[in-house]
Structures are given as C-alpha cells and as structure tokens.
Chain A
C-alpha cells in the first residue's frame, strides 16, 4: 500500500497532486466545450473518481462509484419533470401580465418561489444521499432510506424562521437543517447522528451586527479626514478627498464583511462536524478562520492569474482542504461493519444541478 506521505498521524489523508488532476480536469474542459456542456456529467464523475481514490480514511482509500450517465439522466428527468411545468407557468405568467391580472401573477410568482425553495432543500438532501450512496470504503457504502420530501418542507420553514427577528435565527436554522439532514443518513449498517448546537456559533454570528457600527465609525472618520485634508488644499481636492474616502470605505466594508463571513463559517463548520457522530466514531474539522480566508484568497488569485482557466482546479482545492482538515477518532469494529441496506437512487444530482448549487 502506498500511504507513506498521506498524513499518517491523521485518520484522513490525501495524496493527489494538481498535475495529475490537471490531466483529468483539462481534457474534461475540452470535452465539455465540444459537447456544448453535455460532457460535464462525466467530467464531474471523473474528477470525483480521482479525488476519492486519492483520499485515505484510516487504512483504506475511498472509492467513487457514481457514473456520468446517472448524473445525465438526473438532469434530463429534472428538465422534464420540473423544467416543463416551470416553463408553462412562466408562459402563463407572461399571458397574465399582458392581461393585467397582477394578483394572479403575484400568486403564481409566490408559488414558484416556494416551489423553488422546496426543491432546493430536496436537492441538497438528495445530493448528500447520492454522494454517500456512491462512496465506498472497504467495499461498504452509505445512503439513506429517506426520500427527503419532508426535509424540503423543513428547509422552507426553517429558512423562513431564520429570517425572523432581524435574521438572528439564521445560526439556528443552519445547524438545525444540518442535524436533520445528517440524522437521516447512514454508512454501512450505522446511522449518522448529528446534534450541532447553534448556541456555540451564535457569538460569531453577532459579529455581523457589530460590523456595521464599527464600519460606520471608520467611514465617518475617513470621510472627515478626507474632507479635512482635501479642504486644506482646495475645494476640488476636498471633493476628491471625500470621494476617495468613500471608495476606501466601500472596500473596507466588503473586506470586513468577508472576514466576518469566513470567521462565522469556520466556526459553523467546526461545530457541525464535531457534533456529527457515526456509531463510535467522532469527527472534527480543524480549519481556522485564517485557513478559510487563505482558501478563498487562493481560489481568487488562481482564477484571476490564469484568466479564469484556473477554475477547473477549485474542486480539487476544496476537496483537499476538506480532507486535510478532517479528523476522526474512536473505534471501528470491522466485523460488524456490514454492507448498507439503504436504497440507492438510480440517478444523480439532477435537482442540485438544476438549481446550480455548488458542491463542497
């Protein structure tokens, strides 16, 4: 077995390298272009095969057994089952607008909005189920017997409740949805158990509320300074000083919000992974806020410096980030670890694809 350089001290290891990945990603890009995008389902599959098979858990590599055709069929089904009704409804909406029946347009738009939300939740659930059911470790796979229809409703109402009280319940809706999703999943004969607590991430979330106050102070200081410095030089410089301060303030604003988002997400991810159990196994996720910031800054520069071409490496980077920061501890009794009896969906992540939700 070739595991020498795969972080032997950790339960998870990754030994892929970007040059090998490029040999998959770049031909994938070519094939995706010449097939007008249809190849992307097979491209995704090939990428995952590479990433999974270069990922070690304890003493065995993962294996991705999903197939391109499953994703393709999933896409076609969604196009038929959801695309056609959505298309018809939008045609009808169009007609209603021309007829001036605005109340009906409003009702239909609301219906579409709710349906989209429901399907987004369903899609997230099913994508996780699909990924677990196509992931093998020591020949064993995961999955879920739940279809996710109930999760779709939870996704609607929990997201809605999350926005109440000035969005203060968002940490609750995020952790609660994570728990609900993972509690329905299993790997081999054992179910996952998730009990993430929003109380532990709430303090970080409050940074979002503190930020505007700090930023307004900074903006005011900058504006006054700019105004003052400009004023000392002349009227035109005064206006310029104001404008410049404004630009700097805008930059600071987005930068600070980005930092807070990273800080919150880092904490959220640590909390939910730590509170997700699989039988006697505990997990943890070690990425700090700084690690997330480096990840996204790295993404940004890779894409910009390669004039966009670098986006093909983002999946690789994110997977590597995910695996290298994952830890696990506890015992696995291999004798007891039998094959999953959960049903396997025959087709892939069509819904997720249709709503354009990115994977990890």
Chain B
C-alpha cells in the first residue's frame, strides 16, 4: 500500500469526548479505515458529510452517526480528496452557481416580490367582497360611539348631502366627527367622516358636497381596501428585514392613497355631482382656498403635498366641469346652518381627540 494513501487523522465517536488519534488508511475503494491505539473502525466515503474547514484541517461528519467527527489535514492525496464530499462555503446551490449569480437571482426574485406586493393591492382590493370590508371596518373602527355629532336637523341635512354624492342603493355611512380640524377621512368598512373643523371652514354646502363626494369616491372605488392591503403587504415584506413585531402590527394603522386614487376619487365626486345637478364650483373654491399650505384635506398621515395632485390642478378640473351648466343648490341656507351648528347643538357628544 502506498504511503500517500495514509494520512494522520483524529476522530470522535460522538458517545464520549475521547479523541482518537491515529491514521486513516485508504485502499482506493469506497471506505476509509481508521485505526489508532484506542479505536479501529471503517467509514464509508459516501456516508461522510462536509462540516468545516478550520486551522488547516477538514472536518467531516457521518450521515449515519451525526455526532461522529473525522478530522484530517487539508492537504489530502488528490485521489482521496476527489472521493470526499466537496467543501461548502454558502451551502446549497449558492456554491454551485457562485455568489455573483446567486445574488443577482435573489435580487431579481426580491424585486419581483416587491413589485407583486406593491401592485397586488390594486387589483385585489376591488375584488374583496364589500361585506368583508364592512366586517373588517366593524372590527377596526366600529361605529365611533358618541363622538359623531347628531341633531335631527343636522342628520337630515347630511343625509341630503350624501344623497347628492352617493347614488348607490346601499349608501356609505357618513358622519360629522366632533373634531376641530380641517380634514375628512374614508375609514375601512365604508364609513366617511367630515371633521367639524372642515364643516366650519366651508363657505357653501357645495364645498362640503365636493369633499364628501371625494371621500365616497375612495370607498366606492375600493381605495380603502387597496390601501389596507398595501399596508398589510408592506408589513409582511418588511418583516423579513425588520423583526420587531410591534412595527409590523402598528404599520397597519397608517394608510395612504396614491395620486391616481385621489384623481379617481375627484372624478367620482364630479360625476355624482353632475348627476345630482350640484355645482362643482364649491369644491373648486375649496381647493383654491386650501391650496398652497399643507393642511391635510383628507389624508391625515401622509403629507398632503406628496400624495395629492396639485390643488390648483384639482380646482381647475372642478371648475371645468361647471362650464356652461346651471345648478340647483344642494342644501337650503337653513340646512347648511343645521350642519354647521350640529356639533355645538348636540348635548352629549364626546371629544374626538385622538388618532387623527
């Protein structure tokens, strides 16, 4: 037997900590004969698995006995080296294709995943049954308890306003929230809120009709569900990189709409107002008035400027819709007044001073 097929070796049997130091003898066949003063055994070469490369030594383990360790010098005779399992750096297929190609492949898959997660809500959102969204909204938001302003006259005026911008047989729920902020929101589950601050700010009922129409548009075009899904998708996607559970969960609370969604909601409002013969000039004036500064009109958490089309452009679109047409007032002066004094006149309304 040639000297080159004999190599110093150490092994542990995995049952105790005794190190067996001796030599590994290879006869050119499929097994390695290990012998020392303390131990003598045969291991099949195809039973060995690569474990580690450390300080000039290679470490192998056995498929049969996972606790077994064989340690041999790294400069093995080439014939034997070829028979032993190959070195692994990254393990698996990354070693086969190389780091560069593997990274490119991972990057491609990741980009595809991001693209899917970002676009899926757009087509998935509108396909979620409205009843599911209502249940979800019920769980997340509920009916807001006693923080919506109610007076018989005010409710009637609001209902009339809603009739003008939501023609569906199953109307969204609209309310005036007792909160002094120029804002309006569409909540999950087909609920739309005008904040009292916005109602006070409005100079004509047509302004309110425009804003209300816009929010109803978000509900009817399923933007709310889309935004929820997008938030949810992002939180899942980010959970790979960011392991904090809290961030993932609370990410759900923030929602925003795309510019396209805002345009769609505006279009919805214009169409409904045209059908109801309500002047879009009020909405135009509203946008002109709030334009410029960054006061949020309907989107509390993401900056107005970033997510909304320019107010000027929106105002122009509303103004154009009014050209060559005559309209009838959407509310009487009394009804408008009832809406304005709704929160003041409601004796038991509660403060609404959180979240938005």
Contact surface of A with B, Cβ cutoff 8 Å: 1-3, 15, 27, 30-31, 34-39, 42, 46, 49, 53-54, 60-61, 63, 65, 68, 75, 79, 82-83, 86-87, 90-92, 94-95, 97-100, 136-141, 188, 332, 334-339, 353-356
Let me know if B355 and A42 touch, CB within 8 A.
Answer: no
Which residues of A have CB within 8 Å of B67? 139, 141, 339
Which residues of B have CB within 8 Å of A54? 54-55
Which residues of A have CB within 8 Å of B15? 338-339
Let me know if A61 and B55 touch, CB within 8 A.
Answer: yes
Let me know if A334 and B16 touch, CB within 8 A.
Answer: yes
Which residues of B have CB within 8 Å of A36? 110, 113-114, 237, 240-241
Let me know if A140 and B113 touch, CB within 8 A.
Answer: no
Let me know if B110 and A34 touch, CB within 8 A.
Answer: yes
User: Whole-angstrom distance between the alpha carbons of A15 and B18 in the complex?
Assistant: 23
- Known contacts: A353-B243, A356-B244. The answer to whether A98 contacts B140 by CB under 8 A is yes
Question: B354 at the A/B interface (Cβ < 8 Å)?
Answer: yes
User: Whole-angstrom distance between the alpha carbons of A123 and B53 in the complex?
Assistant: 31
Let me know if B110 and A35 touch, CB within 8 A.
Answer: yes
Q: Helix, strand, loop or mixed for chain A's interface? A: mixed
Closest chain A residue to B137, Cβ basis: A95
Question: B129 at the A/B interface (Cβ < 8 Å)?
Answer: no
**Those of B237-256 within 8 Å (CB) of chain A:** 237, 239-245, 248-250, 252-253
Let me know if B239 and A79 touch, CB within 8 A.
Answer: yes
Which residues of B have CB within 8 Å of A99? 142-145
Question: B91 at the A/B interface (Cβ < 8 Å)?
Answer: yes
Which residues of A have CB within 8 Å of B14? 139, 339
Which residues of B have CB within 8 Å of A75? 243
Which residues of A have CB within 8 Å of B94? 31
Instruction: Give chain A nearest CB distance to B189 CB in angstroms.
Output: 10
Let me know if A90 and B144 touch, CB within 8 A.
Answer: no
Residues 123-165 of B, flagged 1 when their CB comes within 8 A of A and 0 if not, give: 0000000000000001111111111000000000000000000
Binding-face segment, B27-35, B101-109, B278-286, B308-316: B101-109
**Those of B23-61 within 8 Å (CB) of chain A:** 51-52, 54-57, 59
Let me know if A91 and B18 touch, CB within 8 A.
Answer: no
Which residues of A have CB within 8 Å of B102? 31
Closest chain B residue to A24, Cβ basis: B89
- Known contacts: A34-B106, A75-B243, A138-B17. The answer to whether A15 contacts B12 by CB under 8 A is no
Closest chain B residue to A94, Cβ basis: B140
Let me know if A91 and B140 touch, CB within 8 A.
Answer: yes
User: Whole-angstrom distance between the alpha carbons of A355 and B90 in the complex?
Assistant: 27
Closest chain B residue to A28, Cβ basis: B90
Let me know if B139 and A91 touch, CB within 8 A.
Answer: yes
Let me know if A188 and B17 touch, CB within 8 A.
Answer: yes
Q: Can you report 6 A-B residue pairs in the complex whose CB atoms are below 8 A from each other? A: A36-B240, A37-B241, A94-B252, A339-B67, A353-B243, A355-B245
Q: Which single member of A27, A34, A63, A335 contacts B59 (CB below 8 Å)?
A: A63
Let me know if B145 and A98 touch, CB within 8 A.
Answer: yes
Which residues of A have CB within 8 Å of B17? 137-140, 188, 332, 334, 337-338
Instruction: Give chain B nearest CB distance to A35 CB in angstroms.
Output: 5
Question: B99 at the A/B interface (Cβ < 8 Å)?
Answer: yes
Q: Which single member of B52, B138, B237, B242 contacts A63 (CB below 8 Å)?
A: B52
Count of A-B residue pairs with CB < 8 Å? 141
Closest chain B residue to A15, Cβ basis: B55
Let me know if A37 and B240 touch, CB within 8 A.
Answer: yes
Question: B5 at the A/B interface (Cβ < 8 Å)?
Answer: no
Instruction: Give chain B nearest CB distance to A162 CB in angstroms.
Output: 23
Instruction: Give chain A nearest CB distance to B49 CB in angstroms.
Output: 11
Which residues of A have CB within 8 Å of B54? 53-54, 61
Instruction: Give chain B nearest CB distance to A131 CB in angstroms.
Output: 17
Q: Which single member of B69, B107, B139, B243 contacts A354 (CB below 8 Å)?
A: B243
Closest chain A residue to B354, Cβ basis: A97
Which residues of B have CB within 8 Å of A1? 55, 57
Instruction: Give chain B nearest CB distance to A7 CB in angstroms.
Output: 14
Let me know if B350 and A335 touch, CB within 8 A.
Answer: no
9 nearest CB pairs, A to B: A139-B12, A37-B241, A337-B17, A37-B240, A138-B17, A53-B54, A2-B55, A34-B107, A34-B106
Let me know if A98 and B253 touch, CB within 8 A.
Answer: no
Q: Which single member of B16, B140, B239, B242 contacts A339 (CB below 8 Å)?
A: B16
Instruction: Give chain B nearest CB distance to A96 CB in angstroms.
Output: 8
Let me know if B240 and A97 touch, CB within 8 A.
Answer: no
Closest chain B residue to A100, Cβ basis: B145
Let me know if B16 and A337 touch, CB within 8 A.
Answer: yes
Question: B13 at the A/B interface (Cβ < 8 Å)?
Answer: yes
Instruction: Give chain B nearest CB distance to A234 CB in angstroms.
Output: 41
Question: B289 at the A/B interface (Cβ < 8 Å)?
Answer: no
Let me know if A91 and B239 touch, CB within 8 A.
Answer: no
Let me know if A100 and B110 touch, CB within 8 A.
Answer: no
Question: B257 at the A/B interface (Cβ < 8 Å)?
Answer: no
Instruction: Give chain B nearest CB distance to A70 CB in angstroms.
Output: 13
Let me know if A53 and B69 touch, CB within 8 A.
Answer: no
**Those of B339-356 within 8 Å (CB) of chain A:** 350, 354-355
Which residues of A have CB within 8 Å of B96? none
Question: B304 at the A/B interface (Cβ < 8 Å)?
Answer: no
Let me know if B16 and A38 touch, CB within 8 A.
Answer: no
Which residues of A have CB within 8 Å of B242? 37
Question: B320 at the A/B interface (Cβ < 8 Å)?
Answer: no
Which residues of A have CB within 8 Å of B109? 35
Closest chain B residue to A37, Cβ basis: B241
Let me know if B16 and A335 touch, CB within 8 A.
Answer: yes
Q: Which single member of A42, A60, A95 contacts B141 (CB below 8 Å)?
A: A95
Extra 17 A-B pairs, beta carbons < 8 Å, given A34-B110, A36-B114, A83-B248 = A2-B56, A30-B103, A31-B103, A36-B240, A38-B240, A42-B91, A65-B51, A86-B249, A90-B250, A90-B252, A91-B140, A95-B140, A100-B146, A137-B17, A138-B12, A335-B16, A339-B14
Q: Which of A2, A46, A86, A99 has the most CB of B within 10 A?
A: A99
Closest chain A residue to B241, Cβ basis: A37
Closest chain A residue to B68, Cβ basis: A139
Let me know if B355 and A86 touch, CB within 8 A.
Answer: no
Let me know if A356 and B55 touch, CB within 8 A.
Answer: no
